[in-house]
Each structure stands twice: as structure tokens, then as C-alpha cells.
């Protein structure tokens, strides 16, 4: 990505981790506590789930439209996730927000994280890997979302294996996302944002309870 002529003063925080680890929940809670951050939408070819609205987390598009967006270089990165559907990060809203000095939060899968790490200015990027102590926790959480075909669970677990292998190695921070402790996980993420925020000031917090261990930088 050409960034020479851009004055990026904000920071992009990537929330990474396998399906079921709680990325969506953590980001939804951050959104409630920190409306001052930017939460850009991504594009995907997957169908919306019941209750999911276009334009909140994703813009739902056809394969044809997605491939046009690739050709038009609208995407910062894109990937086929769980060997199935396209997901892609929109370039424009992120660049615009970073030019304004904003803190930008976006979840991506590990492939997306690796692609962004390769092309994005390091000083404007922080990657946070959410992790769980055991696989069964992930399966339970994925199952809780609603009935998924056996094949789909298998596919998600295969992606998870790959993500665990890489996450700790390539991401800047690892944060435990323990079952029933989502507020602690959010607090850990807030602490990282606080420490990494360009102004060096703590972002205002909307409260929350419970202490947790400090998150660990992985490098």
C-alpha cells in the first residue's frame, strides 16, 4: 500500500483470533464504551445471520461485486475465510479515520492480519490476538451461536488450529478471552489501546467491573 503521501496520525487496532473466541462481543462492548473510536465495516459474500443488519459490521455483497472491489483496489486486504466466503477490509474508511488521528478497531482473521502487517505502516498498527485455554471452550461457544452443520464446525476448528499456531508469534499482544470473563478481556484490550494510543492519554472509559491480569506483549 502506498502511504508516502498520507499523514496518518491515528492507529489501527486489529482484533484477531479464531472463530468463537469472542472478537465480535469484545468489539460490541468497546463500541458501547468508546463511541469516540472508529469501527469500520468490512465486506463479505456470506449471508447475513438472523438479526444481522447490512452496514453494521459487514456490507453483504455478491461474489461479483466483491471481485469488482478487488479489481478496483478498494480493499486493504481480503481473504477466503473457513475455505468458503470472501471477507475484505475496506481501505477508504480506515485511511480517512487515521488521517484524523482516530483510534480504529477492526476484527480480521489471521490471513487478513498477516496481509495488513505486510503492507501497513508499523507505527500506525497494533495487533491483538484473543486466545482461549482449550479447544472445547471454542466449540461450546460456536455451538451456542446456533446450530451449525458438522462440516462447518470442522471447518472452523481447522481454521482455529492454524490461527493458534500463528497468533502468539505474529501479533503484538495476546489477551485471554475466558468463558464468562468478557469484561476482563475488554479491560485488557482497553489497557493496550491506552498504552498505544497516539495521544498517550487514557481513552475515556465507560466503567465496567472486575480486575484481570495485565495483557502480555508477545514481542
190: contact with ligand 5GP by CB under 6 A: no
Distance CA 188, CA 211 (A): 9
Tell me the residue number closest to ligand 5GP, measured at CB.
Answer: 112
Distance CA 149, CA 184 (A): 31
What would the grid cell of residue 9 be?
Answer: 496520525
Q: Are 13 and 104 in contact (CB under 8 A)?
A: yes
**Options 11, 23, 102, 187; binder of ligand 5GP; rule CB under 6 A:** 23
Among the residue ranges 108-116, 136-144, 168-176, 188-196, the one whose residues contact ligand 5GP (CB under 6 A): 108-116
Distance CA 219, CA 179 (A): 26
User: 111 or 207: whose CB is closer to ligand 5GP?
Assistant: 111
Residues 58-97 that bind ligand 5GP (CB under 6 A): 77, 79, 81, 87-89
Q: How far is the CB of 104 from ligand 5GP (least distance, A)?
A: 13
User: 88 or 167: whose CB is closer to ligand 5GP?
Assistant: 88
**Options 103, 112, 177, 185; binder of ligand 5GP; rule CB under 6 A:** 112
Start-to-end C-alpha separation, the chain: 25
User: 46 or 181: whose CB is closer to ligand 5GP?
Assistant: 46
**Cβ neighbours of residue 60 under 8 Å, at least 6 residues apart?**
43, 44, 45, 46, 47, 48, 54
| Footprint on this chain of ligand 5GP (rule: CB under 6 A) | 19, 23, 42, 46, 77, 79, 81, 87-89, 107-109, 111-112
Amino acid at each position: 500500500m502506498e502511504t508516502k503521501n498520507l499523514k496518518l496520525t491515528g492507529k489501527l487496532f486489529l482484533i484477531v483470533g479464531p472463530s468463537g473466541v469472542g472478537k465480535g462481543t469484545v468489539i460490541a462492548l468497546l463500541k458501547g464504551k468508546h463511541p469516540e473510536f472508529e469501527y469500520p465495516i468490512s465486506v463479505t459474500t456470506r449471508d447475513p445471520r438472523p438479526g444481522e443488519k447490512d452496514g453494521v459490521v459487514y456490507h453483504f455483497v455478491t461474489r461479483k461485486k466483491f471481485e469488482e472491489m478487488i479489481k478496483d483496489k478498494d480493499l486493504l486486504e481480503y481473504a477466503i475465510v473457513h475455505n468458503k466466503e470472501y471477507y475484505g477490509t475496506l481501505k477508504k474508511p480506515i485511511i480517512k479515520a487515521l488521517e484524523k488521528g482516530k483510534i480504529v478497531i477492526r476484527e480480521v482473521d489471521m490471513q487478513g492480519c498477516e496481509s495488513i502487517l505486510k503492507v501497513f505502516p508499523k507505527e500506525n498498527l497494533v495487533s491483538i490476538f484473543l486466545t482461549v485455554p482449550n479447544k472445547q471452550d471454542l466449540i461450546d461457544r460456536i455451538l451456542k451461536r446456533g446450530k451449525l452443520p458438522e462440516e462447518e464446525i470442522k471447518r472452523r476448528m481447522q481454521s482455529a488450529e492454524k490461527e493458534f499456531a500463528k497468533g502468539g508469534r505474529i501479533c503484538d499482544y495476546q489477551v485471554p478471552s475466558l468463558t464468562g470473563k468478557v469484561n476482563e478481556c475488554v479491560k485488557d484490550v482497553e489497557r493496550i489501546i491506552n498504552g498505544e494510543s497516539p495521544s498517550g492519554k487514557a481513552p475515556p472509559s465507560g466503567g465496567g467491573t472486575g480486575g484481570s491480569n495485565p495483557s502480555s506483549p508477545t514481542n
